Structure 1
Amino acid sequence: MIAAFLFPGIVVHELSHALLCLATGTTIKELNLFSSNGGGIKYDKPKISGVFDFIITSAPVFGCAFFIFFIPKILSHPIHFSTTFPSESPATLSGFFALIQHLYDAVLANLNTFRNQFQIKNIHHSIFLFAIIIFAVSIAPQKQDIKYLITGFGILSGIFFCLERFGIHLAQNAWWNFCLKELWVITALTISVLIPLLLITLIVMGFGKGYALTFGRKGSGKGTGKGTNKNTKGAGKHDTR
């Protein structure tokens, strides 16, 4: 059921891997888009280990982000989220924490905007919500990919930090500012979608666990008691004979 709902995102996720495999000359051994457990892809070890591993594993992040970027535009921006980008933060630790604070504020603003503007009877609003959920969830990497993503994005962050410290200001380029602004909007929107989903999932799991502990033990206790009585009676009859 969940795999069927997420199918468009699964297709984008796996095809993003496949596209970057082809771009890096990595042999694809198996590509499965139609599976009850979701899609999957298997490929040989990349020619340049580490670098190509990061490129291939990070592909769905940008593939799904591409659709999150275009969906509001295709639907004529059914919900008007804030696109305010924080002023330039210095390449320091305090600047990093200030950026996190701005992201937190942007997520809260998105949640409030969605609560105030979303209308379930509006077909554009419903399509927008489902589409954003599908592609936001589909960004999630596999466990084996996380190490490459953390290492790769960590190295990229270090490179950008060093460039800034050495006086190479990418922010002076219009294309860089555009990419940063759109990435900021996509990141805030994705987090705004994933946080409620995570909370709902935890609540449902909590209720399920509580139900299992409460009623499951009672059921098992009754079964154990009956079994014990039967065994006792059987043993008594056997002794009588």
Structure 2
Amino acid sequence: MRHDPLSRGGSEYVNLFLRAGRRVRISEPRNNFPLDGARRYLFIAGGIGITAILPMMRAVADRAAADATLVYVGRTEDAMPFVAEIRRTFADRALVIATERDGRPDLADLARRLPEDTSVYCCGPVGMLDACSAHFPADRLHLERFRRAERSFAPDSPFEVVCARSGDRVAVASGETMLDALNRSGHPMASGCREGLCAACDVVVLEGTPEHRDDIGAPAGHMYPCVSRSLSARLVVDL
């Protein structure tokens, strides 16, 4: 794993603190980017996004009844992991594009030639995801984001959170997240990305109207308090 100077914690911890022999506690992975059934697939990976896309391509390649194509984009081949394996394993089903040599892929042309029964899976930088959203049908497009999409919301308003199990009432100020407010008041919650991308801080809402600010779509009756707030003056949650 490369050390990202803008790390949100993961790459910094691995590169600066992990050492051979150190024990690491892990849990089962959460999957907010599942591979659904389809007859045909188009996989588009940008840079390190290949780490999410390549296992999907491998899985589909093992299905006799499904067809898949991979488009893998990076700046240079030297900076693109798994290129040799991809060419060896998938041959003419994979297109490797090094933008310094080949230019950017024509996503509009890919979309025009897309068969109607094709599901599109894309993981990569924000610009690529936004371009895919502009060109491919929304009902067949599946995206995995490493960073939040830039969106604007109304100014933060204070609200109150009621913890149903204990009866505690927690005030959430306009300048803090609901997650931070709960943590400081003695209701520690698990969290990961703190950007509404991983679902680690999922909480059940029993009363009130959440203002969802996540990028993955919280299920009905749930919210991610690392970014989401409340449209009502009071929220009752299952804590």
- Which interval holds the TM-score relative to the shorter structure? under 0.3
Normalising by structure 2, we get a TM-score of 0.23
Q: Which has the larger radius of gyration?
A: 1
Whose helix fraction is larger, Structure 1's or Structure 2's? 1
Structure with bigger RCO (C-alpha 8 Å, 6+ apart): 1
Relative to its length, the structure with more strand (as a share) is 2
TM-score, normalised relative to structure 1: 0.22
